[in-house]
């Protein structure tokens, strides 16, 4: 982690008709940050991520990306069947490589190798030629994670990546992300309700409630009395690692 700004958000407001989903939000993400973005349902987390990805336009304020960022993006609840039907796993994962390519966008032998390696990394090499629509929800989520990772991103932007994963895969997933962060210095923005599992990894927590209610370390987040009921009524708060103060 260092203090080189990567993403700067300044006075950001995003509206849906009259409703302000995000209200006057400002923060900076530095290179190498590992940030958890938390908040209740409807608090604006996905709206924020989509705005960072350039998929929604600010009504006020700005988002600036410094230099060239190669994000790996995992959207929330992608309607996989509709978006990717009738593609195979190989084809879906390959779309994670396409953004970087110039026309004509053919897959090279090294692309195919990279896809196979990434599937192996996600422990699903045997799914390569399967049709995405025939897979279980958790298998589909692993495929989408592979798609986010296949292009060697320098920033991972993950919107509730573990929601369909079983306990084993959830652990494996956090190991993978932590490894990428620690050994490759990848910046991670992770939208999650699973702050219990992530609290020990992240160096920052952003807590949204339309406005940015909190931006600081996980320990400070736990200690902030203002943040109850989110912190203090969390069903898993007594688990190890969760706000032991």
Residue number of the CB atom closest to Mg ion: 46
What is the enclosing helix (H) or strand (E) of 218? helix 218-223
- As to burial, measured by CB atoms within 10 angstroms (0-12 exposed, 13-18 middle, 19+ buried), residue 138 is middle
Pick the closer one to Mg ion by CB: 76 or 211: 76
In the complex, least distance from residue 57 CB atom to ligand ATP, rounded to whole angstroms: 12
Using CB under 6 A as the binding rule, whether residue 6 contacts ligand ATP is answered as: no
**Stretch of 35-43, 128-136, 148-156, 227-235 lying at the interface with ligand ATP (CB under 6 A):** 35-43
Residue 86 site contact among Mg ion, ligand ATP, none (CB < 5 to 8 Å, cut-off depends on kind)? none
- Cα distances from 234 to residues 153, 194, 196, 210, 243, in angstroms, run 33, 10, 9, 20, 10
Residue 76 as a binder of Mg ion (CB under 5 A): the answer is: yes
DSSP H or E run through 179: helix 167-184
Strand, helix or coil for residue 208: strand
The piece of 39-47, 59-67, 120-128, 214-222 that touches Mg ion (CB under 5 A) is: 39-47
φ, ψ at 64 (rounded to 5°): -120, 135
In the list 23, 30, 35, 39, the residue contacting ligand ATP (rule: CB under 6 A) is: 39
Residue 23 sits in the site that holds ligand ATP (CB under 6 A): no
């Amino acid at each position: 982690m260092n203090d080189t700004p990567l993403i700067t958000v300044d006075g950001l407001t995003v509206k849906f008709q009259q409703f302000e989903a995000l209200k006057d939000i400002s923060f900076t993400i530095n290179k190498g940050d590992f940030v958890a973005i938390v908040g209740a349902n409807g608090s604006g987390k996905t709206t924020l991520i989509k705005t960072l990805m350039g998929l929604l336009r600010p009504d006020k304020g700005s988002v600036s990306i410094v230099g060239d960022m190669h994000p790996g993006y995992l959207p929330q609840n992608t309607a996989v069947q509709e978006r990717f039907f009738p593609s195979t796993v190989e084809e879906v994962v390959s779309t994670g490589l396409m953004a970087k390519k110039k026309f004509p966008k053919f897959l090279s032998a090294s692309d195919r190798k990279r896809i196979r390696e990434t599937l192996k990394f996600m422990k699903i090499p045997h799914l390569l030629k399967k049709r995405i629509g025939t897979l279980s929800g958790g298998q589909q989520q692993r495929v989408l994670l592979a798609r986010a990772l296949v292009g060697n991103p320098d920033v991972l932007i993950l919107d509730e990546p573990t929601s369909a994963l079983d306990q084993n895969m959830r652990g494996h997933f956090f190991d993978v992300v932590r490894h990428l962060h620690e050994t490759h210095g990848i910046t991670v923005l992770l939208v999650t309700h699973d702050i219990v599992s992530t609290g020990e990894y992240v160096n920052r927590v952003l807590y949204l409630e339309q406005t940015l209610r909190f931006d600081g370390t996980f320990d400070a987040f736990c200690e902030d009395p203002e943040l109850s009921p989110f912190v203090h009524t969390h069903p898993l708060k007594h688990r190890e690692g969760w706000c032991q103060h």
